[in-house]
Amino acid sequence: MFQLPVYFDYPATFLWAVSGAILAARRGYDIAGIFAIALVTATGGGVFRDGIFLQGAPPVLLRTPIYLEIVAAGAVLVMLVGRYIHQTPLFIRLIGAADALGLGAYAVVGLQLAASKGMAPAALCLVGVVNAVGGGVLRDVLMRQEPEVFRPGTLTASAALAGCLLYLLLTRTFNIDATPAGWSAVLLTFVVRAASIFLHLETRPVRGIYNPPE
């Protein structure tokens, strides 16, 4: 199976936790609120995956303390020095890179776990995409705003879906091993996401139903 290295998984989890904690701090949340938003931002996709779709063992979040510790570290960092880092160019680039790389990586991880349950290809892609974007959806719902992934904008869920489709194509049609197929899917997702941002390739509202305000 495609294995996500800890030197990728843990830093990505930390950066997402920090980004969620910063959003909560900007809203004026207390310690509990900052930790909760950091937690769902960093791990919500896995909770969605394990709790709703796979329903086997408890979510990975609850089977090992490392993710709670990483999220707690991110929340504490924001409470201590968040005002100094949230607008720095380096931090913004790191969050963008973690987002673009993490989309494909966690989509493939979710897809593989769903495949172990014998799900159909369409279901595999669904679980993969939810694993990739579920944290952002939970974060936005808890913060009482429309989920960013549902609104017209840069390609997020579509980029994750492209990675899932490529992974299935490589492994099931061309019989390529999971590891090279997985990293190929991560690369494709990163390229699609980056191109969407830098070339302003964005989704649009459905015409004929939605009437934009005058």
Neighbours of 182 (CB within 10 A): 27
Query: Does 208 reside within a domain?
Result: no
Structural domain contains residue 209: no
Report pLDDT for 59. Answer: 84
Q: What was the pLDDT predicted at 91?
A: 86
Distance CA 60, CA 161 (A): 23
Please, what is the Cα angle at 154 between 172 and 20, to 5 degrees? 95
In a domain, 207, yes or no: no
Asked whether residue 49 is domain-assigned, the answer is yes
Q: What is the pLDDT of residue 173?
A: 95
pLDDT, position 34: 96
In a domain, 189, yes or no: yes
**Residue 46: φ, ψ to 5°:** -65, -35
Confirm whether 81 is domain-assigned.
yes
Whether this model's pTM surpasses 0.85: yes
- Residue whose token pair is 């070339």: 199
Number of independent structural domains in the chain: 1
**Residue range(s) defining the domain that contains residue 12:** 6-198
Nearest to 156 by CA among 94, 85, 103: 103
Residue ranges for the chain with pLDDT beneath 70 = 208-214
Q: Which of 31, 174, 46 lies closest to 106 in space, CA to CA?
A: 46
* Predicted local distance difference test score (pLDDT) of residue 27: 93
Q: What is the DSSP letter of 214?
A: -
On whether residue 102 sits in a domain, the answer given is yes
- Name, in order, each residue with C-beta under 8 angstroms of 62's C-beta and a sequence gap of 6 or more: none
Give a yes or no: residue 51 inside a domain: yes
Q: Give the Cα separation of 191 and 207 in Å (integer).
A: 28
- The DSSP line for 6-20 is HHHHHHHHHHHHHHH
Please report the pLDDT score of residue 1 as a whole number. 80
How does pLDDT run across 177-195, given as a tens digit for each residue? 999 999 999 999 999 999 9
Task: State the pLDDT at residue 160.
Answer: 97
Q: Where are the alpha helices (DSSP H) in 30-177?
A: 31-48, 60-63, 66-85, 89-115, 121-142, 157-168
Query: Whole-angstrom Cα distance, residue 121 to residue 115?
Result: 8
Q: What pLDDT is stored for residue 153 in this prediction?
A: 93
pLDDT value at residue 92: 86
* Token couple for 151: 């609104």
Check residue 57 and give its pLDDT. 76
Specify the amino acid at residue 15: L
The CA distance from 109 to 46, in Å, is 10
